[in-house]
Amino acid sequence: MSFSYEYKLEIIDSIELEQNSLRAFMIGVILSSFYVCYEGEKNFDAYFITEHKNIADFLKKELEKDLNFDGSINIIEQPISEMASRYYLEITDIYSYLYYLGISDGYKKNNFDNNLLYEKDFKFLNKFSDDDIILWVKGVFLASSSIVNPDKAYHLELVIKTPNLAKKIVNLFDKNFDVKLKLTNRKNVDLIYVKGKDVIADILSIVGANKKRLILEDIIVQKSMKSKINRIVNCDTANIRKASTTFKKHLKALKIIMLTKNLDLLDERLISVAILRLSYPYYSLSELAELSVEKITKSGINHRLGKICNIAKSLDIENSNISVDDKDIDEILKYIKGAE
């Protein structure tokens, strides 16, 4: 099962539907996702479409509990592949139910305008208790939202029928939960979306998907640790590469001095740092400074090695392209120590 589907099942599990709370929840579901159509003078039919039978079954079961409904409820399965189906939750003659929910104002049975249902001021929300607001939000998210598996990306979105409803949802989250949602339009479809991991975690808590929030937070920690480890590894690799390049430059300078037999140009301080450099080939300058018996600073180590490089450069032009490798270390070290 997908992360999105599992989180919706958790929303269902979190709902303790009593008769007085079903109304707020179903208003959220219907306003955000039901397609209501008018056929003739008496028939108002509504359709909810999902690819998950459990969700269709849940809504059908809760609708059938409601005694204030005169229509019939059916689930129609439409196969879309060998492995998947699309489920239509069909509600016939829904007008009486819309009236009961308090969202039928603005049109009459014989003069139905499909847009009126979705372009209202939503003043009924002002009468909702805090618990009703939560249930309304759960209805909206169960019916209209999807969330990407956080292993891949942090992205949650809702497909909303009209700009008016979309703006109402965005404003409600800002006012009631201090959660900032973003609004956009994609191919004439109004979308609410969130990309921030912390905001998605807050939303999961609001809609009752606390298990999924824990899973999300665990994924966030794992990603953070992997990112930190990668940065450390990359940093270490870069430092090792830099230390290797620097050492090869110093080794080449000392080899030139050895080949041209000009060790006498190095004073006692330079010989001391040359031996330290050859004894710990791939140590950084900071590490060499810590190992120095004279307690030389990193800057002092760098200054002395720079002098050695300048002496070598002044000595040899013909052999400036000589190659060096780790096999040269022992020979050069033996040569330099012979001068002590």
pLDDT in tens, 223-249: 888 888 888 788 878 877 888 888 888
Q: What is the mean pLDDT of residues 305-309?
A: 92
Give a yes or no: residue 129 inside a domain.
yes
Give a yes or no: residue 183 inside a domain.
yes
Within this chain, do residues 194 and 306 fall inside the same structural domain, yes or no? no
Measure CA 304 to chain center: 49
Judged on CB neighbours under 10 Å (0-12, 13-18, 19+), 334 is exposed
Give a yes or no: residue 290 inside a domain.
yes
Within this chain, do residues 108 and 23 fall inside the same structural domain, yes or no? yes
Return the pLDDT at 193: 94
Angle at 285 between CA 279 and CA 289, to 5 degrees: 75
Within this chain, do residues 176 and 259 fall inside the same structural domain, yes or no? no
Task: Tell me which residue of 194, 196, 195 sits closest to 169, measured CA to CA.
Answer: 194
Give a yes or no: residue 213 inside a domain.
no
Q: What is the mean pLDDT of residues 77-103?
A: 81
Return the pLDDT at 9: 92
Collapse the DSSP code of 76 into the 3-class scheme (helix H, G, I; strand E, B; otherwise coil) and give the result. strand
Within this chain, do residues 8 and 48 fall inside the same structural domain, yes or no? yes
Give a yes or no: residue 28 inside a domain.
yes
Domain boundary at 208, 240, 267, which?
208
Within this chain, do residues 38 and 126 fall inside the same structural domain, yes or no? yes
Q: Would the pLDDT of 201 be above 70?
A: yes
Which amino acid, one-letter code, is at 71?
G
Within this chain, do residues 167 and 237 fall inside the same structural domain, yes or no? no
Return the pLDDT at 340: 54
Which amino acid, one-letter code, is at 194?
V
Within this chain, do residues 40 and 103 fall inside the same structural domain, yes or no? yes
Q: Tell me which residue range forms the domain holding 122.
A: 3-208
- Lowest mean pLDDT: which of 19-23, 173-177, 316-320? 316-320
Within this chain, do residues 172 and 288 fall inside the same structural domain, yes or no? no
255: which 2 tokens? Answer: 């080899």
Return the pLDDT at 66: 67
% of the chain beyond a pLDDT of 90? 28
Within this chain, do residues 113 and 68 fall inside the same structural domain, yes or no? yes
Q: What is the mean pLDDT of residues 294-310?
A: 90
Residue 75 DSSP label: E
Domain boundary at 208, 242, 267, which?
208
Give a yes or no: residue 216 inside a domain.
no
Within this chain, do residues 293 and 201 fall inside the same structural domain, yes or no? no
Within this chain, do residues 193 and 48 fall inside the same structural domain, yes or no? yes
Return the pLDDT at 106: 42
Q: Tens digit of pLDDT for each residue in 21-54?
A: 678 888 888 888 877 665 554 456 778 888 889 9
In total, how many domains does the chain have? 2
Residues 6 or more apart whose CB falls under 8 angstroms from that of 83 comprise none
* CA Rg value for the chain: 37
Return the pLDDT at 137: 93
Q: What is the mean pLDDT of residues 262-278?
A: 89
Q: Tens digit of pLDDT for each residue in 94-148?
A: 777 777 777 765 444 444 455 555 555 577 777 888 888 999 999 999 999 999 9
DSSP string, 13-63: HH----HHHHHHHHHHHHHHH-EEEEETTTEEEEEEEES-HHHHHHHHHHH
Q: Tens digit of pLDDT for each residue in 202-214?
A: 999 999 999 999 9
Return the pLDDT at 313: 86
Within this chain, do residues 304 and 204 fall inside the same structural domain, yes or no? no
Where is 223: in which H helix or E strand?
Answer: helix 210-259
Which amino acid, one-letter code, is at 330?
D
CATH code for the domain in which residue 123 is found: 3.10.28.10
Give a yes or no: residue 283 inside a domain.
yes
Give a yes or no: residue 274 inside a domain.
yes
DSSP string, 143-202: HHEEE--TTT---EEEEES-HHHHHHHHHHIIIII----EEEEETTEEEEEE--HHHHHH
